[in-house]
Copies of this chain bind each other. A is one copy, B any other.
C-alpha cells in the first residue's frame, strides 16, 4: 500500500490546534518559523516514506532473531538506521553543545509520529535512545556526559531503559538487581531484566543501558533504587571503545506484534564482571527515571497516533478501491466503492477524528513541554508545566486506547481481507496493542491523572483547562456555520460533564482514595474526549476563518470542520454517561468474593 507522511495534517495540527506559534514567539529557538517547520517536516517525510515505511511489513514476517548471543535486526534496519543518524534526526531537539540542533522537542515529537507511521518496530528503538539522552542530560556527571552524550545525541550509540524484572513490573519496589561498589568508583551490577526493547541489536557499535538496581543496605521499596549507566562495550578515557562488558541477551520474547523490534531478556553480571557507573544520586534512581518517563509516556502516546494514522490511510485507500453494493434503493448497475456507504464512512470518520484528536493532544502536550522549559517568564513556564503534567497521562492513555480502536476499525473496513495477514491491516492492530501497556499501563496513567495530577494542585490545572474549553465552546457556538454551533454545543455539554466529574472526584478524595481509584479509567476517557474535542474545535474554527482567504484549500479545510463535527457528535456525547459511571464510585467495583465470578 502506498503510504505518505501526512505533512499537511501535521502542520495543521501544530499551527492551528496545538499552539505551536507560542513557541515561535518565545524567541528561545533561533530562526524558528512556520517555513522552517514546513521544510523540516518535508525532509522528514522524504526519509520516512522512502526509507522507513517499506520496512514495516517485511519486518513483521522476518522478525528480529537471536543467534549465538547476537541479535540480527530485520533486513534493511541497519541501513535505515545509518541514514537516521546521518540525517541528524536523532539530534534534532538536543542542545547544540552536544551536537544537537537545538530545535523544540515538539518537532522531535512530530518525528516520533512520522517514524511510527512508517514502522513502529523500527521507531521504538530511537525513542529509547532519546529518553536515555534526556536522563544523561539531567543527571549525568561531566565525565559521563563527555564520554557518552556526543555519540548518543547523534544516535551512533543507542540507549535502553532497564526497569522490569519478573516480579517487579508496575510495582518497581520489588526490584532485586544489585549494584556493589567495585572500589574504583564503579559498580558491579548483577541481575536479570525482562522486556528490554532493543537491549541487543546489530545497528550500532555500542549500546548504553540505563539499569535500575539496589545498592547494598539500600532502603526497601522504591526509595532504595539507584540508576546505573552500563555500557555494552566499555568506553575508554579517550572515548574509544574498550573491552566487552558482562552484559548478555539471553532470549527474545515472541510477541503478538512488533516483530521487528527485539524485546530482550538481559543478564547483567552472569560472570560477575559487569561494571557500570552511578547515574544521578544514590537511591534517587526512580526520580531520575521519572524525568525521562514523562517524555517517554508522551512518546508512547504518539506511537499510538502514528500507527493509527497508517491504519487509517490503509483503510481509506481500500475503501476507495474496493467495490461492493449499490446506493440505497438502487438494485442494478455497477457496484460502488465501499466509501460510498454511510456505515463505512462512519468507521473512516471515526478513525480520522480519533487520529486528529489524539495527535493534537500529544502535540499540545509537547508544546507545553517546551514552554515549561523555554518560555521567557516564570509564570508562563509554571502554567505550561502544569498543563504538561496534566496532559501526559491523557496523551499516553487516551491516545493509545483510541489507537487500538482505530487499528481494529481498520481491520473491520477490510472485511474478511482484514483478517488475512498479507493485507497488512491486522499487523497494525497487533503492533499497537502494546502501547496501552508499556511505559505504565493505561490504568496506571488513569491513576496518575486522578491521584497525582488532579489532586496535587487541588484541581487548579484541570479547572483552568476546563475553563479554556468552555470559552472555546462559547466562541464556537457563536460561529455562523451551523456545524460550529453544533460543535460548540456538544463541547459545552461535555465540558460541564467533565467539570462535574472533577468536582465530584476532588470532593470524594478528601475522605479517601477509593472512589478516585475506582473512577480513574472512565475519568481519563472523559478528559481525553473533552481535550480531543477542544483541540479539534480550535482547528475547525481556524479552518472556518481560513476558508474566507484567497486561494484557500477548500476541500481540506471543510474536512477539518466535518471531522471536528463528527467527533463532537460521536465522542463528546459520551461525556454525560461517563459522569454517571464515575459518580457510581468505589461501590460499583467493590471487592467480590472470587466465587461470585466463578461460573
**A residues with CB within 8 A of B:** 4, 6-10, 12, 164, 167, 169-171, 173-174, 194-195, 220-221, 253-257, 309, 316, 320, 323-326, 328-329, 331-332, 335, 339-349, 352, 404, 408, 411-412, 415-416, 418-422, 426, 429-430, 433-434, 436-438, 441-443, 446-447, 486, 490, 512-514, 517-518, 520-522, 555-556, 558-560, 562-563, 565-566, 569-570, 573-578, 580-581, 584, 586, 588-599
Cα–Cα, bound, A155→B104 (Å): 67
B562 adjacent to A170 (CB under 8 Å): no
- A488 shortest CB reach to chain B, Å: 14
Cα–Cα, bound, A565→B576 (Å): 18
Q: Which residues of chain B have C-beta atoms less than 8 A from A573's C-beta?
A: 577-578, 580-581
Q: Which residues of chain B have C-beta atoms less than 8 A from A593's C-beta?
A: 555, 558-559
A415 adjacent to B433 (CB under 8 Å): no
A324 adjacent to B170 (CB under 8 Å): yes
- A501 shortest CB reach to chain B, Å: 12
Q: How many copies does the complex hold?
A: 2
A346 adjacent to B518 (CB under 8 Å): yes
A599 adjacent to B9 (CB under 8 Å): yes
Q: Which residues of chain B have C-beta atoms less than 8 A from A253's C-beta?
A: 420
A328 adjacent to B566 (CB under 8 Å): no
**Pick from B6, B256, B597: contact of A419, CB under 8 Å:** B256
Show 24 residue pairs from A and B whose CB-CB distance is below 8 angstroms, ordered by the A residue.
A9-B599, A10-B599, A164-B416, A169-B324, A169-B415, A171-B324, A171-B326, A254-B421, A339-B594, A342-B518, A343-B520, A344-B443, A345-B591, A345-B592, A349-B592, A352-B597, A411-B433, A412-B443, A522-B570, A555-B592, A558-B596, A565-B588, A566-B588, A570-B584
**Pick from B555, B570, B591, B594: contact of A596, CB under 8 Å:** B555
Q: Which residues of chain B have C-beta atoms less than 8 A from A576's C-beta?
A: 576-577
B429 adjacent to A415 (CB under 8 Å): no
Q: Which residues of chain B have C-beta atoms less than 8 A from A512's C-beta?
A: 328-329
Q: Which residues of chain B have C-beta atoms less than 8 A from A352's C-beta?
A: 597
Cα–Cα, bound, A391→B595 (Å): 31
- A430 shortest CB reach to chain B, Å: 7
B443 adjacent to A418 (CB under 8 Å): no
Given contacts A309-B599, A490-B580, A560-B596, list 7 more A-B pairs with CB under 8 A.
Answer: A170-B324, A171-B324, A316-B597, A339-B594, A341-B517, A346-B589, A573-B581
In the complex, the 4 A-B pairs of residues with the closest C-beta atoms, listed nearest first: A6-B599, A559-B596, A9-B599, A569-B584
Cα–Cα, bound, A111→B415 (Å): 27
- A425 shortest CB reach to chain B, Å: 9
Q: Which residues of chain B have C-beta atoms less than 8 A from A446's C-beta?
A: 343
Question: Which of A6, A195, A421, A577 has the most chain B CB atoms closer than 10 A to its own CB?
Answer: A577
A325 adjacent to B419 (CB under 8 Å): no
Cα–Cα, bound, A31→B332 (Å): 52
Q: Which residues of chain B have C-beta atoms less than 8 A from A10's C-beta?
A: 599
A256 adjacent to B415 (CB under 8 Å): no
* Contact A513 B574, CB 8 Å, known A171-B335, A345-B589, A420-B254: no
- A594 shortest CB reach to chain B, Å: 6
Q: Which residues of chain B have C-beta atoms less than 8 A from A563's C-beta?
A: 596-597
Cα–Cα, bound, A167→B9 (Å): 34
- A296 shortest CB reach to chain B, Å: 15
* Contact A346 B438, CB 8 Å, known A324-B171, A598-B6: no
**Pick from B324, B339, B415, B596: contact of A562, CB under 8 Å:** B596
* Contact A589 B574, CB 8 Å, known A6-B599, A412-B437: no
B324 adjacent to A254 (CB under 8 Å): no
Q: Which residues of chain B have C-beta atoms less than 8 A from A517's C-beta?
A: 328, 341-343
Q: Which residues of chain B have C-beta atoms less than 8 A from A164's C-beta?
A: 416
A421 adjacent to B592 (CB under 8 Å): no
* Contact A430 B328, CB 8 Å, known A416-B195, A581-B569, A589-B345: no
Cα–Cα, bound, A476→B340 (Å): 45
B443 adjacent to A419 (CB under 8 Å): no
Cα–Cα, bound, A415→B138 (Å): 29
* Contact A437 B408, CB 8 Å, known A221-B331, A343-B446, A447-B343: no
Q: Which residues of chain B have C-beta atoms less than 8 A from A344's C-beta?
A: 443
A328 adjacent to B514 (CB under 8 Å): yes
Closest to A355 in B: B599
- A135 shortest CB reach to chain B, Å: 21
- A9 shortest CB reach to chain B, Å: 3
Closest to A174 in B: B335
Closest to A446 in B: B343
B433 adjacent to A416 (CB under 8 Å): no
A332 adjacent to B447 (CB under 8 Å): no
B438 adjacent to A429 (CB under 8 Å): no
**Pick from B349, B433, B514, B560: contact of A429, CB under 8 Å:** B433
Q: Which residues of chain B have C-beta atoms less than 8 A from A323's C-beta?
A: 167
Q: Which residues of chain B have C-beta atoms less than 8 A from A9's C-beta?
A: 599
Q: Which residues of chain B have C-beta atoms less than 8 A from A426's C-beta?
A: 256, 433
A434 adjacent to B419 (CB under 8 Å): yes
Cα–Cα, bound, A426→B259 (Å): 14
A256 adjacent to B581 (CB under 8 Å): no
- A352 shortest CB reach to chain B, Å: 6
Cα–Cα, bound, A195→B416 (Å): 8
Q: Which residues of chain B have C-beta atoms less than 8 A from A220's C-beta?
A: 332
